[in-house]
């Protein structure tokens, strides 16, 4: 026998080696759950820089709902501790999307956004303490605290630096109407502030709305209707403007004209009893008894439910004045 393989044997070996290659060891796929748990452990021990990439992967790719939730919370805490507000907000969005009604998620959202707001305000105060924005932010804070006079001074300072800063005359007018000693003189001054605001920013729906409310208070129905109408055109989602426009039209005995804005108010604010009641009145006055009865029934049911929630005895529901 020859010490060499015959040609046909060699060919057979080549064929077998290509048809059935030797098994190779497959790379081990990392367990996302194990990696996620490791990232959470790192976060809990304060190693946030190392943990953050793993937490992001765990939130997106881990199958276990409880681990994804825990990774989201850990991600928010780590990101905020590192001053990475963008990453914290990304984790919040994930948590809100995946666990929309979770009380813990809502609680963390409140505190995280509050902390982010505080940090931004401190940074503004440190980097540009004399800026228009710093004075305006300080004024807004004072306004929330009910420190009307101090807030007014800050807003006046803003106007000294920039007489055409949008929104400032509107806020000054609102302050005048918020003071405890609010009276005719304050109302007249506030009216001037809102008019000045519209000269600077004609798109301010809030200024138009308050001017309408002031005109309605004086029973100047035509002026009220004009201002409320402009507010609805400037902001198609302004439910109160549609409601008050319809109510002013009813008061002006323009019942058919009142129906469209009141129907819009009901669509925008379906849980507002006043919207249903005023729409019912408009329907009744326009001769649409069935529609009126339906809206009165909705209003009555809402009123009874609200009374029950507040532990009140049900009051006699308001009736359409004849």
Q: Give the mean pLDDT of 193-210.
A: 98
Of 212 and 314, the structure prediction assigns the larger pLDDT to 212
pLDDT tens digits, residue range 228-283? 999 999 999 999 999 999 999 999 999 999 999 999 999 999 999 999 999 999 99
Over 60: is that where the pLDDT of 84 sits? yes
Question: Residue 241: inside a domain, yes or no?
Answer: yes
Query: What integer pLDDT is reported at residue 61 of this predicted model?
Result: 82
Task: Give the range of the structural domain holding residue 257, as residue numbers without chain letter.
Answer: 229-322
Q: Indicate if 187 and 270 belong to the same structural domain.
A: no
Question: Residue 19: inside a domain, yes or no?
Answer: no
CA distance 138 to 136: 5
Question: Residue 141: inside a domain, yes or no?
Answer: yes
Q: Indicate if 237 and 256 belong to the same structural domain.
A: yes
Query: What integer pLDDT is reported at residue 30 of this predicted model?
Result: 58
Over 60: is that where the pLDDT of 3 sits? no
Over 60: is that where the pLDDT of 50 sits? yes
Of 60 and 215, the structure prediction assigns the larger pLDDT to 215
Sequence-distant contacts of 47-50: CB under 8 A, at least 24 apart: 48/77, 48/78, 48/79, 48/81, 48/82, 49/82
Over 60: is that where the pLDDT of 22 sits? no
Over 80: is that where the pLDDT of 17 sits? no
Q: Which residues lie below 8 Å from residue 149, measured CB to CB, with a gap of 6+?
A: none
Over 70: is that where the pLDDT of 195 sits? yes
CA distance 105 to 101: 8
pLDDT tens digits, residue range 155-180? 999 999 999 999 999 999 999 999 88
Query: What integer pLDDT is reported at residue 320 of this predicted model?
Result: 57
**Distance of CA 92 to CAs 19, 67, 79, 263, 276, Å?**
53, 15, 11, 36, 37
Query: What integer pLDDT is reported at residue 13 of this predicted model?
Result: 47
CATH of the domain at 137: 1.25.40.10
Q: Which residues lie below 8 Å from residue 169, measured CB to CB, with a gap of 6+?
A: 159, 193, 194, 196, 197, 200, 207
Q: Indicate if 312 and 272 belong to the same structural domain.
A: yes
Q: Which residues lie below 8 Å from residue 321, measured CB to CB, with a gap of 6+?
A: none
Question: Residue 42: inside a domain, yes or no?
Answer: yes
Q: Which residues lie below 8 Å from residue 86, measured CB to CB, with a gap of 6+?
A: 79
Q: Give the mean pLDDT of 60-73.
A: 88
Picking from 186, 202, 218, the residue at the C-terminal end of a domain is: 202
Question: Residue 103: inside a domain, yes or no?
Answer: yes
Question: Residue 28: inside a domain, yes or no?
Answer: no
Question: Residue 211: inside a domain, yes or no?
Answer: no
Q: Indicate if 156 and 105 belong to the same structural domain.
A: no
Query: What integer pLDDT is reported at residue 33 of this predicted model?
Result: 83
Query: What integer pLDDT is reported at residue 267 of this predicted model?
Result: 98
The reported pTM is: 0.75
Q: Indicate if 234 and 321 belong to the same structural domain.
A: yes
């Amino acid at each position: 026998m020859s010490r060499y393989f015959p040609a046909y044997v060699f060919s057979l070996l080549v064929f077998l080696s290509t048809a059935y290659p030797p098994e190779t060891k497959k790379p081990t796929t990392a367990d996302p759950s194990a990696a996620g748990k490791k990232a959470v452990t790192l976060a809990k021990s304060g190693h946030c820089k190392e943990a953050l990439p793993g937490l992001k992967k765990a939130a997106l790719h881990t199958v276990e709902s409880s681990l994804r939730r825990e990774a989201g919370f850990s991600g928010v805490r780590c990101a905020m501790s590192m001053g990475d507000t963008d990453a914290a907000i990304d984790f919040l969005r994930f948590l809100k999307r995946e666990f929309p009604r979770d009380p813990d998620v809502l609680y963390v959202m409140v505190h995280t956004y509050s902390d982010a707001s505080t940090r931004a305000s401190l940074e503004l105060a440190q980097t540009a303490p004399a800026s228009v924005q710093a004075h305006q932010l300080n004024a807004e804070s004072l306004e929330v605290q009910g420190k009307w006079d101090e807030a007014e001074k800050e807003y006046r300072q803003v106007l000294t630096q920039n007489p055409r800063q949008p929104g400032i005359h509107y806020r000054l007018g609102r302050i005048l109407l918020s003071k405890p000693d609010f009276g005719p003189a304050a109302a007249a001054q506030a009216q001037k502030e809102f008019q000045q605001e519209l000269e600077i920013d004609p798109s301010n729906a809030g200024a138009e709305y308050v001017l309408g409310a002031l005109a309605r208070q004086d029973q100047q129905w035509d002026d009220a209707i004009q201002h409320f109408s402009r507010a609805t055109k400037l902001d198609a989602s302004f439910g109160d403007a549609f409601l008050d426009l319809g109510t002013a039209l009813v008061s002006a005995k323009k019942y058919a004209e009142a129906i469209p804005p009141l129907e819009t108010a009901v669509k925008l604010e379906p849980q507002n009893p006043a919207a249903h009641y005023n729409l019912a009145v408009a329907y009744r006055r326009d001769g649409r008894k069935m529609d009126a009865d339906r809206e009165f029934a909705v209003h009555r049911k809402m009123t009874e439910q609200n009374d029950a929630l507040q532990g009140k005895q049900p009051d006699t529901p308001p009736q359409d004045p004849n």
